[in-house]
Structure 1
Amino acid sequence: MTSVGWRQTLAYGAPGVGAGFMMLLVNLYVMKFATDVLLIAPAVMGVIFGISRVWDAVSDPLVGYLSDRSTGSLGRRRSWLLLSILPLAGMFIWVFSPPDSLSQGMLVLWMAIGVIGFYSALTMLVVPHVSLGAELSADYHLRSRLYGLRHGAFTFGAILALGGMQWLLAAEQIGAEAVRSRAFEITVFAAIVSGALILWAVIGLRERPDFQGRVNPRPLSAFADVWQNIHARLVLIVTFVENIGGAVIATLTLYIAQYVLGRPDMAGLIILAYFIPSTLSVPIWLPLSRRFGKVRLWMFSLVLTGLSFGSMISILVLEPQTQLPVMFFLAFVAGLSAGCGGTLSPSIQSDIIDYDEYVTGERKEGSYFAAFNFAHKSATGVMIVLAGFILQLAGFEPNVDQNDVVIYAIVGLFGGFPLVCYLISAWLFRRFTLDERTYRTLRSALDERGVNPASPAPASQ
């Protein structure tokens, strides 16, 4: 299947809206909701997020491999999309709806179940969904269009989540009960809409039956193939390092706005300045990737993102009246480069999966994207744990003016840490060799093998 019409492309992108809304609201607001509304210590929430990342080491590969092995009339991926609707909706509502009567210990347990349960349910959607994109087209550049629309839908959902977050932040001025009430209304509505969008994809898409049953029956061998794939191994490392830095936008923007800039009302607008160009720049990156190549363009975006975040350290020495304009400009530039990465990285990862088929003769998109997804989420978890402990050690106390040590810690984590991570990622990624010319050679070999099944696969990588 090479040609994919706009009707299928839109159906493929649709679940990204709900996923983007839910993920951003949890990533961006749950930490603050827990520390400032529920009065849970930042370090405790850091441990909860850290435990959820450890669980991801089990849930991500499990969902990826089981979806590879799934059979039935709905195919390998759409059956998982359908199964994800109820648990995803339920856990999203759960994490924002702890009962007032809970003791502090039970409240921590409630949040632990909610956070871990939410990310587990999200895995049931995200891993099969992104895996489906690699199956819909084998065209080197058409894949970028599919993933570009998925990225645009995801960031559009994230933009909508900013509106919900602003409504919750306004409720904090009224009181904890107002926050809880509004959170319940937001999560119920989002759960219903997200379920409908997932159903659209289930009904509107079709899968390749010839891909079913083409995976190693031994799961450990399947994931060993992922690590032994020289291209996958490099991109896993790059993805992990990159996303340690990238997690700051969701983890610390609220803290930057409230405790550094003294403008908590601007937090949503700063994030909006990041997400709008990330969404709208997708049509720009697609033709540029054809001209300059997906690999070189993604490496460029890593450097640009790192420099954008690193430049935010300057707010420590800027006059108060210039801090906000500089933050908005740098967030805009970082968002532009994020649009490139969100469009091209899964497209490149799909090419890596085709290389695995060239070597092994198997189709295990779920196993590969489970590994990539785990690298992304574990990096986010590392950043959240790190931020929680550093803030606690620096002497952070919620809802009061912070001392200089806390201010420097917040800005250092928000600007300096991403600068280092993104530049290291770009330096590592320069060794990636699966460019368009190499891909077209292996694609021709795979097509020949499809016409002539007797054509042998290579014995090794």
Structure 2
Amino acid sequence: MVATMQTLPRRTIAAYAIGSLGTGGFATLPGLVLVYYLTDTLGIAALAAGLVVTLAKIWDVVIDPVIGARSDHSLKATGSRRRFMRLGALLLPVFFILTFAVPAALDTVSSAIWVTLAFLLCATAFSLFQVPYIALPAELTHSYDDRTRLLTWRVVVLALAILLFGAGGPLLRSASSDPRLGYLIMAVVAGLVIGIGMLISVTVAPQGRPDLRPQPAASVGHNYRASLGVLRRSQPFRALLGTFVLQGLATGLMLAGAQYVATWVLHSEDAVTFLFIALIAPALLLAPVWGRISRRFGKERAFVWASILFGVAAVSMVALIWAPGDWVYLPVAVAGAAYAGMQSLPMAMLPDVISHDARRNGDGSAGLFGGVWTAGETTGMALGATTLTVVLAASGYVVSVGNTAAAQPTSAVIGIVLSFSLVPAALMLASLFTLARYRLRKSDIDAPIPTVEVHP
């Protein structure tokens, strides 16, 4: 598939960006409420709740490289990645609703099994869409700056999705005094919005000529070997992926902990809505600003600045241990400003990595890169929720069932604060070391493709 060198039309940018309404919704809402749903509505122990989420994410990591390779094969055979994206967009809302539709008659073990199976299917459907979706920017344009523009507006919609689902999800959950019914209402509305956003973005996937002599799909083992191959041969990809995984772990930890901070530190379940407004309002405003900064100073340098800003904001919230209060919305807003850059810049750098590899090793591996990237992103976010459950268990968190609210020991409240501040800040610091190893620059990407003269 040959990408156009022309400036991307607005329709393409808009249609691609709307896909993040779905991906952002799925990444945000389960990360925000699923562990809390398991511990404080279904009465499942914190470590067991973490295991439920982790199993689904491990499965996601296992299948992402295979889906990436099969997506590349589908592109050659049909001329487009639309088939995979459409299937994921149609299936995900169904399984998302089932995840939060646990019958009240089930005991805690059966409830945990129900959620595990439903969320496994959710993860599968999400990967069917997300992996080819991640691969598209490298096929839509070859321009270094056009990719920044494309991914900047994707992050604007992503930030809007985080606000919509992060703030609106808990409000929908509160629509019923019965917490189980409230979660089901939330899942139905959110699932439909996620599916619609994904289906709209399917239309942007390029359609080209299918290969008249398509090769048979490779074995699963070959898919994994090919995925490991892109990791081995692309040093910029390893550096960028390592950075994104560490930062995904940090943000996933904070996302999963936000509801606990609202409930047990700020003493209001509804405060989670204001936390998300404080986070996302700056992100919506500043995503285009990070695009302009990157065009002037380079994506990688702007990415470093965004990461440092986020880390400083996170570590300042350690003070919640001694002085909980509304002042927390200020550092959360600073983190939101940084988060816009932490999302748009690496996503704009990924197509550069893919095109750099294509110059050296030939086209046709964008799906593989997308699969490995999605697996890494999923790993980071999953480990964030898992880390939170470990901290909760170690600090003595007491679970609840239904409307019954248990009192928490001081140690549990301190654990919640540290998981929202100091631990993410340490992860951000570690990510700066991997980011320092990323060495691609604009001149490497926009340099003309060398040609070979053939003499008679």
Answer whether TM exceeds 0.5 for this pair. yes
Deviates more, 1:229-238 or 1:71-80: 71-80
Task: Output aligned runs, 1:174-193, within 5 Å.
Answer: 174=177, 178-193=178-193
- Match of 2:10, as an amino acid? W
Partner of 1:148: 152
Task: Summarize the Cα distance change of 1:195–1:393 in structure 2 as closer, same or farther, 3 Å threshold.
Answer: closer
CA distance in 1: counterparts of 2:110 and 2:192, whole angstroms: 28
Does residue 341 of the first structure (1) align with residue 356 of the second (2)?
no
Does residue 117 of the first structure (1) align with residue 121 of the second (2)?
yes
- Match of 1:313, as an amino acid? V
Any unmatched runs of 5+ in structure 2? 400-404
Partner of 1:316: 321
Q: Deviations over 1:232-262 (max 9, x none)?
A: 1112221222222111231101111111222
Deviates more, 1:286-295 or 1:22-31: 22-31
* Secondary structure in 2 matching 1:197: helix
Does residue 194 of the first structure (1) align with residue 199 of the second (2)?
no
| Structure 1 residue 167, shift from structure 2 partner | 2.1
TM-score by length of 2: 0.90
Partner of 2:379: 378
| Structure 1 residue 291, shift from structure 2 partner | 0.6
CA distance in 2: counterparts of 1:31 and 1:210, whole angstroms: 44
Q: Say whether the 8 Å CA contact 1:281–1:339 is kept in structure 2.
A: yes
CA distance in 2: counterparts of 1:76 and 1:438, whole angstroms: 28
Partner of 2:441: 435
Q: Say whether the 8 Å CA contact 2:167–2:276 is kept in structure 1.
A: no
Partner of 1:331: 332
CA distance in 1: counterparts of 2:344 and 2:445, whole angstroms: 18
Does residue 92 of the first structure (1) align with residue 96 of the second (2)?
yes
Does residue 274 of the first structure (1) align with residue 279 of the second (2)?
yes
Q: Say whether the 8 Å CA contact 1:391–1:410 is kept in structure 2.
A: yes
| Structure 1 residue 122, shift from structure 2 partner | 1.0
- Match of 1:240, as an amino acid? V
Partner of 2:242: 237
Task: Summarize the Cα distance change of 1:69–1:278 in structure 2 as closer, same or farther, 3 Å threshold.
Answer: same
CA distance in 2: counterparts of 1:214 and 1:350, whole angstroms: 25
Q: Deviations over 1:85-139 (max 9, x none)?
A: 2220111101111112223222111011122221221111111112112211110
Task: Output aligned runs, 1:440-455, within 5 Å.
Answer: 440-441=446-447, 444-445=448-449, 448-449=450-451
* Secondary structure in 2 matching 1:329: helix
Does residue 369 of the first structure (1) align with residue 374 of the second (2)?
no
Q: Say whether the 8 Å CA contact 2:243–2:434 is kept in structure 1.
A: yes
How big is the alpha-carbon RMSD for the aligned residues of Structure 1 and Structure 2? 2.4
| Structure 1 residue 59, shift from structure 2 partner | 1.1
- Match of 2:392, as an amino acid? L
Q: Deviations over 1:264-299 (max 9, x none)?
A: 221111122112222221111111111111010001
- Match of 1:387, as an amino acid? L
Q: Say whether the 8 Å CA contact 1:211–1:363 is kept in structure 2.
A: no
Q: Say whether the 8 Å CA contact 1:214–1:363 is kept in structure 2.
A: no
- Match of 1:231, as an amino acid? P
* Secondary structure in 2 matching 1:99: coil
Q: 2:256 aligns with which of 251, 258, 262?
A: 251
Q: Say whether the 8 Å CA contact 1:14–1:150 is kept in structure 2.
A: yes
Q: 2:14 aligns with which of 10, 16, 24?
A: 10
- Match of 2:425, as an amino acid? L
Q: Deviations over 1:287-331 (max 9, x none)?
A: 11111110100011111111111111012233x5xx212x11111
Q: Deviations over 1:52-108 (max 9, x none)?
A: 222123111111111011147963322111111222011110111111222322211
- Match of 1:431, as an amino acid? R
Task: Output aligned runs, 1:153-168, within 5 Å.
Answer: 153-168=157-172
Task: Summarize the Cα distance change of 1:438–1:215 in structure 2 as closer, same or farther, 3 Å threshold.
Answer: farther
* Secondary structure in 1 matching 2:144: coil
Partner of 1:34: 38
Q: Say whether the 8 Å CA contact 2:155–2:340 is kept in structure 1.
A: yes
* Secondary structure in 1 matching 2:397: coil
CA distance in 2: counterparts of 1:75 and 1:278, whole angstroms: 36
CA distance in 2: counterparts of 1:216 and 1:135, whole angstroms: 21
Task: Summarize the Cα distance change of 1:314–1:230 in structure 2 as closer, same or farther, 3 Å threshold.
Answer: same
| Structure 1 residue 340, shift from structure 2 partner | 0.7
Deviates more, 1:207-216 or 1:221-230: 207-216
- Match of 1:352, as an amino acid? V
Deviates more, 1:96-105 or 1:336-345: 96-105
CA distance in 2: counterparts of 1:88 and 1:74, whole angstroms: 23
Q: 1:128 aligns with which of 126, 132, 137?
A: 132
Q: Percent identity?
A: 23
Task: Summarize the Cα distance change of 1:261–1:215 in structure 2 as closer, same or farther, 3 Å threshold.
Answer: farther
Q: 1:419 aligns with which of 422, 425, 429?
A: 425
- Match of 1:381, as an amino acid? A
Q: Say whether the 8 Å CA contact 1:249–1:271 is kept in structure 2.
A: no
CA distance in 2: counterparts of 1:182 and 1:405, whole angstroms: 30
Task: Summarize the Cα distance change of 1:132–1:408 in structure 2 as closer, same or farther, 3 Å threshold.
Answer: same
Q: Say whether the 8 Å CA contact 2:254–2:419 is kept in structure 1.
A: no
Q: Deviations over 1:369-404 (max 9, x none)?
A: 221221121122222222212211221113333222
CA distance in 1: counterparts of 2:205 and 2:364, whole angstroms: 19
| Structure 1 residue 454, shift from structure 2 partner | 6.8
- Match of 1:39, as an amino acid? G
Q: Say whether the 8 Å CA contact 2:236–2:437 is kept in structure 1.
A: no
Task: Summarize the Cα distance change of 1:71–1:368 in structure 2 as closer, same or farther, 3 Å threshold.
Answer: closer
| Structure 1 residue 343, shift from structure 2 partner | 0.9
- Match of 1:382, as an amino acid? L
TM-score by length of 1: 0.89
| Structure 1 residue 148, shift from structure 2 partner | 1.4
Task: Summarize the Cα distance change of 1:4–1:155 in structure 2 as closer, same or farther, 3 Å threshold.
Answer: same
CA distance in 1: counterparts of 2:211 and 2:130, whole angstroms: 19
Q: 2:24 aligns with which of 20, 23, 33?
A: 20
Task: Summarize the Cα distance change of 1:287–1:422 in structure 2 as closer, same or farther, 3 Å threshold.
Answer: same
Q: Deviations over 1:345-389 (max 9, x none)?
A: 011111111111112113211111221221121122222222212
Any unmatched runs of 5+ in structure 1? 456-461
- Match of 2:187, as an amino acid? T
Task: Summarize the Cα distance change of 1:243–1:202 in structure 2 as closer, same or farther, 3 Å threshold.
Answer: closer
Q: Say whether the 8 Å CA contact 1:302–1:422 is kept in structure 2.
A: yes
Q: Say whether the 8 Å CA contact 2:31–2:385 is kept in structure 1.
A: no
Does residue 47 of the first structure (1) align with residue 31 of the second (2)?
no
- Match of 1:273, as an amino acid? A
| Structure 1 residue 432, shift from structure 2 partner | 1.5
